[in-house]
Amino acid sequence: MKQLIQGLLLTLLLVGSASAAIDAYEFKNEAERERYRTLVEELRCPKCQNQNIADSNAPIAMDLRREIYRMLEEGQSNEQIVEYLVARYGDFVRYKPPVNAKTVVLWYGPIVLLFIGFGVLAFMLMRRRRSAAASSTLSEAERARLATLLDRKEP
Amino acid sequence: MKRLLMLLPLAIFLLVAVFLYRGLFLDPTELPSALIGKPLPSFALPSVEDPQRLVSDDDIKGKPALVNVWATWCVACKVEHPVLNKLAEQGVVIHGVNYKDDNAAAQKWLQDFHDPYQLNIRDEEGTLGLDLGVYGAPETFLVDKQGIIRHKYVGVIDERVWREQLAALYQELVDE
């Protein structure tokens, strides 16, 4: 039993690390490697739609990885590298699109919808409470009538 | 007021339905080019026929033209090639970018299947392709006489695509 659990854990560990296409790039230091990793994971492969360029084996993704590596070696900043690619392939290559007139609905739409939902909920609750309160209190005339009705039935 | 409020869910449903219906007919592989309205990237690359002869972006300026990115490894390019031949015969200016290809194979292709290109740019490393934002051949750019990219078509240009989409755009550039 213990062995089985250990085996399972090992498998899970392996599954986690077995992504990404293999390129042999040498980095000056760990920080550089980390930057390369975040960049290739954040940028989308133009050819293969739903993969980042780290995971894709398409030739274009290979080219882009090489290009990103080259720019890192030249000492360019992350912004410069992303801008370089956006200038060629458009905002499509960014998995995190910038906030602009075209994407504003995408960014803030859900929050706006959530608030509208809360608003509607609050409105409905308030109305329900008001109508419940209104129906539970009887006017003077109604109360008198109720009393007479009850009185009449009692004997 | 209450009537109107009751109609609200229906209105929202219709709105969403219209959006989703439209989405059914959008092609997600069709990316808008980031280069529309921008000049051709500057380059100086050898020609396919003669490695000594350099072709640059200045050579493309002067006349509106199609810039067609192709390669011998690209199956769809073979389908497109006869259409380009026919267009070239009709007087359409077409330049070729031989993208990440073996040059000998490209030369043979042009001999075997006829050469519709006025300029044959040899982009063996894919640098021009990268600057053009090419993500798969065949891709065709419509360039005006100042060398500004005006339109991009991704995929095979067949007679229908030419007739229905590109011919009018090209004619517009010629008339400018």
B34·A60 Cβ contact <8 A: no
- A67 → closest Cβ in B34, B100, B130: B130
Q: Is residue A108 part of a domain?
A: yes
SS (H, E, C) A58-112: CHHHHHHHHHHHHHHHCCCCHHHHHHHHHHHHCHHHECCCCCCCCCHHHHHHHHH
CA A151 from centre of chain: 66
Q: What's B166's DSSP letter? A: I
Q: Give a yes or no: residue A98 inside a domain.
A: no
- Do A85 and A20 reside in the same domain of the chain? yes
User: Within this chain, do residues A109 and A87 fall inside the same structural domain, yes or no?
Assistant: no
Do residues A64 and A85 touch, judged by C-beta distance below 8 A? yes
Give yes or no: residues A47 and A116 share one domain. Answer: no
| DSSP letter assigned to residue B35 | T
Does the residue A78 lie in any domain? yes
Q: CA of A64 to nearest chain B CA: how many angstroms apart?
A: 8
Which pLDDT belongs to residue A51?
85
- Answer yes or no: is A142 within a domain: yes
A150's enclosing H/E stretch is helix A140-153
- pLDDT string in tens for chain B (176-residue length): 778 888 888 999 999 999 899 888 887 767 777 888 889 899 999 998 888 888 888 888 888 999 999 999 989 999 999 999 999 999 899 999 999 888 889 999 999 999 999 999 999 888 898 899 888 878 999 999 898 999 999 889 999 999 988 999 999 888 87
Is residue B57 within 8 Å of B42, Cβ to Cβ? yes
Contact list in A for residue B127 (CB cut-off 8 A) is none
| 3-state secondary structure (DSSP) of residue A13 | helix
The reply to whether A31 and A78 lie within a common domain is yes
Q: What is the CATH number of the domain that holds A14?
A: 1.10.8.640
- Say whether both A79 and A137 belong to one domain: no
Residues A89 and A117 in one domain: no
Instruction: Sort out which chain A residues have CB atoms less than 8 A from B132's CB and list them.
Output: 88
pTM reported for the whole predicted model: 0.71
Cβ(B99)–Cβ(B115) below 8 Å: no
Containing structural domain, residue A111: 104-153
Q: Are residues A87 and A111 in the same domain?
A: no
Q: How confident is the model at residue A17 (pLDDT cuts 50, 70, 90)?
A: very low
Q: Mark which of A52, A71, A93 sits at the end of a domain.
A: A93
Q: Which of B170, B168, B46 shows the shortest CA–CA distance to B119?
A: B46
Å from A155 to nearest chain B CA?
A: 47
| Inter-chain residue contact B31 with A90, CB threshold 8 Å | yes
CB contact under 8 A, A90 and B34: yes
- Name the residue ranges covered by the structural domains of chain B: 35-175
Query: Both A115 and A76 in a single domain?
Result: no
Residue A114 covered by a domain: yes
Q: Which of A46, A88, A90 is closest, CB to CB, to B131?
A: A88
Q: How far is A146 from chain B (nearest CA, A)?
A: 33
At A34, which amino acid appears? Answer: E
Same-domain check for residues A81 and A129: no
Q: Does B16 touch chain A (CB under 8 A)?
A: no
ipTM of the complex: 0.73
CB within 8 Å: B136 and A49: no
User: Is B115 in a helix, a strand, or coil?
Assistant: coil
Are A41 and A84 found together in one domain? Answer: yes
With beta carbons less than 8 A apart as the criterion, state whether B152 and B135 touch: no
Asked whether residue A99 is assigned to any structural domain, the reply reads no
Give B28's contacts in chain A (Cβ within 8 Å): 49
Half-sphere exposure (Cβ direction) of B30: Cα atoms closer than 13 Å: 11
User: Do both A63 and A87 map to the same domain?
Assistant: yes
Residue A130 backbone phi and psi in degrees, to 5? -65, -45
Contact (CB<8Å) B133/A89: yes
Q: Are residues A22 and A82 in the same domain?
A: yes
B35-175 CATH = 3.40.30.10
